Every structure is written in C-alpha cells, then in structure tokens.
Amino acid sequence: MCVSINPADLSRVKAFTYLTDLPIGGQPTHVSGYINAAVTGAPNCMILHFPAQHSLRPIHRAIETTGLMEEITRDLQPIMPIPMARGFSREPVVQTYGDYDIVLADDPSVFAELLARVREERRPTDVAAIERMSQFYAAHYADHRFVLACWDGSIAPSHPIVVAYVPLSDDVLFVPGLEGHDGKPPVIGAPVKRDIHVAFGISGITLQHHVGYSDPNLELLWWTPKSVTGFFDNRVAPNGDFVVPIDAIKEKLTGADLVMELIS
C-alpha cells in the first residue's frame, strides 16, 4: 500500500495502473493512481515508489475526480472468500496537490531536504525517521522515483494521487504495494494483512470489468482506463509490490488467477 514516516492507521486503500496509448518519446506511458484514508496524531507523509525512467509527472486533473478510484475498482472481487468487516522535470518538485502537499523526488537522499519545504502544518518533523526511510529506499529502490504525500494528521481525501511515467520495463504493470505504517522501514517479504483494491488496464483491450464513470467526461481522458482487471487483496501475504506481466493481463486473467502471475 504505502509507507508512512510517522505511525498511521490506513484504510479504504485503492490503486490502479494503466498502460495508455499516449507514448512519450516513442516509449509507453504508464499511469498509476492511489488513494487511502489515514489517521495519525501528527503531520505525516506517505511514500509511494514507482519504477520510472525519468521524473514522475503528476496528473492534476485527478484532483477533480471525486469518485474515480471507487469507480475503477468497484467490481474487483476479493482473493480470499471471506466477508469484509469493513513534461517530465529532472529537478525535485514540491507542490500543493489538492488535499496534500506532494514531494516528487528522483533520489531518496533528498527526502529530508525536500520535506523541509513542505508547509509546517503538513510536514513530519522526525528527522531520524526521515533519514531511516531515505537509507531504506536508497538500499532497495535506488532506481525508482518517489512521491511523498504529506497531510496534517488526518485525511479522507476526495481525490487520488495520480502520476504518469515511462516505466523501467515495458513488460509489466506495477502498483506500489509495500506497507509500513509504524514509522519504521518496512520488512520486505514479511507477512502482512492486505486490504487493498488493485486494478490494471491496457488501452485498446477490453477487460472483464467495465468502468462506469459517474462523470462521462472521464472516459474521454487519455489517462483513465475504460475497463480493468484485478483483485481485492484481502490475504495475509508477503510484504511487497504488485507486479504483473502485461501478457497475463492480455490473457484476461482476473482475481486469484491473476494473483498467481504476480512477480516477486
């Protein structure tokens, strides 16, 4: 799901990744969206990482899409049959993004420097925790790009965070799934209780679940999927990201069958 700098209670997590038909420099463009609700006792920041060749490009139109993530993931079925109890800049960027202040970074070593520019009411202040996170991501995700989304202690955002990027590999689709909500660097591969809707789409391919947008204009945008496949992950599973071969999506696998194709 995500990793937070300070302890946080997260819920209602939804994510998607879409292979668009808009190339950049002749290379495929992936669009990823993410949303959750979070409660914490102090200003906090969650970290999302993406396997991008160049700096991430935020999709600002997503701020206006109050129902986007619910509509994309509405028809995804749980993996386990149990009921629920409930232009690319090369320079680091800090900007207001709807309900968040977001930091875009190409290098985890600049996390502390960039967070110092976030407005005080949304800025985590635990320097030691920020440094630990920087070291963790430098060790495990040095070739990735990062979004640090900061909020002021409690948030139920009306919109997702959506970014576009040219991927490191054009054979897979990626959704960030690494979890760590206690303010400590996560342990990759450790068992965690999942609670996340994960959707994938490919432009030009009709998949199992049609996305019925309440705003029909969303269907006309280059970065919104018209149909998706995926799953609601409600397992206890190893901590890590969701990486699916594009061929498995083209074969129209869904649910637990698609989970069997995940690349660790």
Average pLDDT of the segment spanning 156-180: 93
- Which letter, b or e, does each residue of 51-84 get, where b requires 16 or more Cβ atoms within 10 Å of its Cβ? bbeebbbbbeebbebeebbebbbebbebbeeeee
Report the phi/psi class of residue 159: left, alpha or beta, with left for phi > 0 and alpha for psi in -120 to 50: beta
Decide: helix, strand or coil at residue 53. coil
Residue 239, token pair as written in the block? 């901590």
Instruction: Give the type of residue at 133.
Output: M
Identify which of 62, 75, 5 has the alpha carbon closest to the alpha carbon of residue 35: 62
Mean pLDDT of the chain: 89
Question: Is there a contact between 16 and 199 (Cβ–Cβ < 8 Å)?
Answer: yes
Q: Which pLDDT tens digit goes with each residue over 111-161?
A: 998 888 899 999 988 889 999 999 999 999 999 999 999 988 787 888 999
Give the closest residue to 126 by CA, choosing from 104, 141, 111, 147.
111
Q: Say if CB 202 and CB 211 are below 8 A apart.
A: no
Dist. CA 33–CA 47, nearest whole Å: 13
Share of the chain above pLDDT 70, in %: 94
Q: Express each pLDDT in 76-91 by its tens digit.
A: 888 876 544 334 444 5
